[in-house]
Amino acid sequence: MRSLFCAGAAIAAALALTAASGATAAGAPVIGLRPAIAPRASLGPDMLGTVAVSIHADRFTGSLSNALQDTSSSPILQGMIAPARSLTPFQQLAYVQSHVNNSIRWISDATEWGLHDYWATASQTLAHGAGDMEDRAIVKMHALKALGFRPENLFLTMARDRVGGPITVLTVRMNGHYIILDDTGGAPFDANTRHSEFQPILSFGWTGAWAHTRAAPPMPIAALAPAVRSK
């Protein structure tokens, strides 16, 4: 996981630097790093004071292809979510969080696949009954999609946690809130309750990929005066 996290952090940092540089030149584009970073129009997860800027994250193409591979017809997945079909959406979140963490034992990619970083498909993880935090987040994403959650509201989010360090979680956009299903097995929580310790870096989903950047502060009125007078 660490090499992919470092790649994600580098993309986010480069995007922030480019945005800062673009802001200093009138008419200069905010993003100019292609093909690694290029803007695309899509509604991303703007959470915790960040702006989710749509990107082309080529470094993650293979991983994301695995993560999004259709698993809806998996008998294992269908059997897993069957008891949750009659629950409310919030109860379904709690069910999926608890069931996946309890039924998919943790194992490293090196032990399971002989690779340093590998995002397994949900079908692979379910068949093996084991995976790391990315794999379990991917299974949760497919489980919620199969329960009727809209795909555009489900995101794999790579983040930095003040206590746990680099983490990958499932983020669910729900009624204007962002609910986090992390890898601890604890109850899902609203991202706003952990704003001081949870820092999103990159998010991925069926509708795109995004880097989380801080919103640029508004330009002071005094700075705008010369431009106004010159017109």
pLDDT, tens only, 37-86 = 444 445 899 999 999 999 998 889 999 999 999 999 999 999 999 999 99
Residue-level pLDDT at 28: 35
Residue-level pLDDT at 93: 98
Please give the Cα distance from 221 to 218 (Å, whole number): 9
Distances (CA, A) of 147 to 69, 135, 180: 17, 19, 17
Distances (CA, A) of 100 to 40, 70, 71, 74: 33, 18, 15, 15
pTM: 0.79
Residue-level pLDDT at 214: 83
Please give the Cα distance from 56 to 210 (Å, whole number): 8
pLDDT by position in tens, the chain (length 231): 555 555 555 545 545 444 444 443 333 333 333 434 444 445 899 999 999 999 998 889 999 999 999 999 999 999 999 999 999 999 999 999 999 999 999 999 999 999 999 999 999 999 999 999 999 999 999 999 999 999 999 999 999 988 778 999 999 999 999 999 999 889 999 999 988 889 999 999 999 999 999 865 555 555 445 544 444
CB crowding 89-112: b at 16 or more within 10 Å, else e: eeebbebbbebbbeebeebebeeb
Question: What is the share, in percent, of the chain residues with pLDDT greater than 90?
Answer: 67
> CATH number of 2-216: 3.40.50.1820, 3.10.620.30, 3.40.50.300, 1.10.30.50?
3.10.620.30
Return the half-sphere exposure (C-beta side, CA atoms, 13 A cut-off) of residue 23.
12
